[in-house]
């Protein structure tokens, strides 16, 4: 379902351009698709440099360490067959 506010924008764009609402939606998707992929697609992460890793991991984090120990003690589930 299209939110009311967006539907009104589509209707207004259709009136201004002379296109149907369906054409406006199709053209909007076509024009906006590269931007959506760029914004929400996977990114390529580079590994940390030695200096970045040292800075990130040199200070202990007691809260995280407690959580890590807790999770390690949880029973392991068998995979479903």
pLDDT per residue of the chain (81 residues) written in tens, 0 to 9: 889 999 999 999 999 999 999 999 999 999 999 888 888 877 767 888 988 888 888 878 888 889 989 999 999 888 887
If one counts every other C-beta atom within 10 angstroms of the C-beta of residue 72, the result is 7
Residue 60 lies in a domain: no
pTM for the full predicted model: 0.48
Any domain includes 21 = yes
Range of the domain at 17: 4-38
Q: What is the C-alpha separation between 22 and 43, in angstroms, rounded? A: 32
Number of compact structural domains in the chain? 1
């Amino acid at each position: 379902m299209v939110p009311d506010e967006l539907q009104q924008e589509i209707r207004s764009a259709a009136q201004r351009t002379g296109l149907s609402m369906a054409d406006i939606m199709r053209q909007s998707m076509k024009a906006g698709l590269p931007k959506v992929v760029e914004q929400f697609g996977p990114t390529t992460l580079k590994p940390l440099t030695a200096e970045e890793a040292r800075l990130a991991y040199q200070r202990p984090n007691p809260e995280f360490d407690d959580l890590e120990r807790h999770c390690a003690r949880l029973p392991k589930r068998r995979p479903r067959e």
